[in-house]
């Protein structure tokens, strides 16, 4: 086990294998020799086995010993990549270990954040990739990084000053004028406001929320559908607040994106230097589409449709939304990021969420999803080519 084990662990976990034995092995190793690398590996195992508090404590312990770790050794003449991360769970940073799995790179990661300033000495590197994801808690460090990296003698990919604009509320302002694109305006609100709405003590308009029922609500900072709910009436909001303990929330109008057959199709698209790639397409009878999930595994016809969507993406989806895709890339200004989206009944591209830290991987069951692995390798190859282009002073787009 080493620090470049995210892909291996994720693959085993998604395929139903037991990875808890790694935790036992590493705990024993840490008790004998608590070095930073072992603690970092153990933190990852704890995250993958849903021991989040222990994972955070172990990561803090590792970073108290050192800030910089080697993730991969690609050989003597391999490209030297420095990745900038911040402490957090698997959604806090771009999962670059999955994207560059088996790529010929020498990759080091430096952690920055509260109590972890930019180091005076860095490993030798040809370029820097900022992997820190958008989050309220990351705003300060991204601002500091923007100042530090403005003077970098090597190229910087995913410049930190552009990452905060990926937030749900900022993204609407950034993208709502892009032709061929729809996005529901997202509002930040707090528990007292929602409690008043639920009790009938105020209205949506009076609360400064330009919404109608149904609308969707989720706690600030959560992803992957956690805490996400569609609110049809005030009583639903009351029940929701009784179950969710958060104090701050995002709310937005629900846009019905069901296809003519009544099913919901959600796409995950990534842009690498402006070129769009399909990472997955989930098809579900429910509006909240997770991937992979029971329905995609149960219905071979849905997997076949996803395979065809990947095969013909450039000529079909990519062509239909070429103007919107270009507009998104031009507005966001990041070298690599992605978004979850759908198509509206009138043919527009409906954006749900922008992120530079979406989990994309080649770890699905190859027997169940044989078409996924070649597609993901296409994305990974484009990412590696982007690194090569930037070192050589070229831009692909």
Residues 19 and 141 in one domain: yes
Q: The domain spanning residue 237 has which CATH number?
A: 3.30.1490.20
**Within-domain flag for 1:** no
Helices 6-14 and 36-48: crossing angle in degrees, nearest 10, is 20
| pLDDT tops 70 at residue 4 | no
Domain hosting 149: range is 6-164
Please tell me the distance from the alpha carbon of residue 40 to that of residue 33, in angstroms, as a whole number: 13
Q: So what's the pLDDT on residue 224? A: 67
Split at pLDDT 50, 70, 90, the class of 142 is: very high
| pLDDT tops 70 at residue 150 | yes
Domain end (from 222, 253, 284): 253
3-class SS of residue 251: strand
Residues 159 and 174 in one domain: no
Most confident segment among 167-181, 198-212, 314-328: 314-328
Split at pLDDT 50, 70, 90, the class of 259 is: very high
Domain end (from 104, 134, 164): 164
DSSP 293-315: -HHHHH-HHHHHHHHHHHHTTTT
| Residue carrying structure tokens 């420095």 | 82
Residues 370 and 302 in one domain: yes
Residues 20 and 108 in one domain: yes
Q: The domain spanning residue 346 has which CATH number?
A: 3.30.470
- Closest to 143 measured CA to CA, from 174, 175, 120, 112: 112
In the β-sheet with 349-355, what is the strand arrangement from edge to edge?
181-182, 349-355, 336-343, 264-272, 275-284
Q: So what's the pLDDT on residue 252? A: 94
**Within-domain flag for 66:** yes
Split at pLDDT 50, 70, 90, the class of 153 is: very high
**Within-domain flag for 318:** yes
* pLDDT tens for each residue of 311-352: 999 999 999 999 999 999 999 999 999 999 999 999 999 999
Split at pLDDT 50, 70, 90, the class of 161 is: very high
Most confident segment among 37-46, 138-147, 221-230: 138-147
Burial of 144 by CB count in 10 Å (0-12 exposed, 13-18 middle, 19+ buried)? middle
Burial of 320 by CB count in 10 Å (0-12 exposed, 13-18 middle, 19+ buried)? middle
Residues 299 and 318 in one domain: yes
Residues 198 and 80 in one domain: no
Assess contact for 336 and 386: CB atoms under 8 A.
yes
Q: So what's the pLDDT on residue 220? A: 87
Tally of structural domains, the chain: 3
**Of 294 and 306, the one with more pLDDT:** 306
| pLDDT tops 50 at residue 11 | yes
- What are 223-227's contacts with CB under 8 Å, separation 24+? 223/91, 223/353, 223/355, 224/91, 224/290, 225/288, 225/290
Percentage with pLDDT > 70 across the chain: 96
Domain end (from 224, 253, 282): 253
Q: So what's the pLDDT on residue 364? A: 85
The mean pLDDT value for 48-65 works out to: 91
**Of 221 and 166, the one with more pLDDT:** 166
Verdict on whether the full-model pTM lies above 0.75: yes
Split at pLDDT 50, 70, 90, the class of 2 is: very low
The mean pLDDT value for 299-310 works out to: 97
Distances (CA, A) of 70 to 46, 110, 155, 180: 20, 9, 20, 43
Q: So what's the pLDDT on residue 397? A: 54
The string over 92-126, giving b where at least 16 C-beta atoms fall within 10 Å of a residue's C-beta and e elsewhere, is: bbbbbbbbbbebebbbbbbbbbeebeeeeeebebb
**Within-domain flag for 396:** no
* pLDDT tens for each residue of 375-386: 999 999 999 999
Query: Which of 28-42, 258-272, 309-323, 356-370 has the weakest average pLDDT?
Result: 28-42
Q: So what's the pLDDT on residue 5? A: 66
Q: So what's the pLDDT on residue 147? A: 97
> Could you check whether the bond before residue 215 is cis, i.e. omega within 30 degrees of 0?
no
């Amino acid at each position: 086990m080493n620090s470049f084990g995210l892909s291996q662990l994720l693959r085993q976990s998604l395929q139903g294998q037991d990875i808890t034995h790694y935790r036992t092995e590493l705990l024993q190793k840490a008790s004998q020799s608590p070095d930073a690398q072992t603690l970092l590996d153990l933190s990852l195992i704890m995250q993958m086995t849903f021991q989040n508090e222990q994972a955070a404590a172990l990561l803090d312990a590792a970073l108290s010993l050192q800030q910089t770790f080697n993730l991969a050794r690609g050989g003597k003449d391999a490209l030297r990549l420095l990745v900038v991360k911040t402490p957090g769970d698997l959604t806090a940073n771009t999962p670059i270990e999955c994207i560059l799995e088996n790529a010929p790179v020498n990759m080091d990661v430096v952690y920055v954040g509260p109590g972890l300033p930019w180091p005076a000495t860095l490993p030798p590197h040809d370029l820097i990739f900022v992997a820190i994801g958008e989050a309220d808690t990351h705003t300060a460090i991204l601002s500091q990084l923007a100042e530090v990296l403005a003077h970098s003698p090597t190229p910087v990919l995913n410049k930190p000053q552009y990452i905060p604009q990926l937030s749900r509320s900022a993204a609407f302002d950034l993208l709502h004028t892009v032709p061929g694109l729809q996005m529901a305006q997202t509002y930040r609100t707090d528990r007292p406001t929602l409690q008043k709405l639920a009790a009938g003590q105020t209205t949506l308009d009076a609360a400064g929320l330009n919404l109608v029922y149904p609308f969707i609500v989720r706690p600030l900072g959560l992803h992957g559908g956690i805490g996400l709910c569609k609110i049809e009436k005030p009583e639903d909001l009351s029940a929701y607040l009784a179950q969710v303990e958060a104090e701050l929330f995002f709310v937005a109008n629900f846009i019905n994106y069901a296809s003519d057959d009544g099913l919901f199709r959600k796409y995950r698209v990534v842009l690498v230097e402006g070129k769009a790639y399909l990472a997955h397409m989930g098809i579900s009878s429910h509006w909240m589409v997770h991937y992979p999930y029971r329905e995609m595994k149960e219905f071979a016809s849905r997997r076949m449709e996803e395979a065809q969507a990947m095969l013909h993406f450039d000529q079909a989806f990519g062509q239909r939304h070429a103007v919107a895709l270009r507009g998104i890339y031009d507005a966001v200004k990041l070298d690599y990021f992605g978004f979850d989206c759908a198509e509206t009944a009138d043919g527009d591209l409906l954006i749900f969420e922008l992120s530079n830290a979406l989990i994309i991987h080649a770890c699905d069951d190859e027997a169940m999803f044989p078409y996924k692995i070649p597609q993901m390798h296409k994305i990974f190859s484009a990412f590696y080519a982007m690194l090569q282009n930037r070192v050589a002073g070229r831009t692909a787009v």
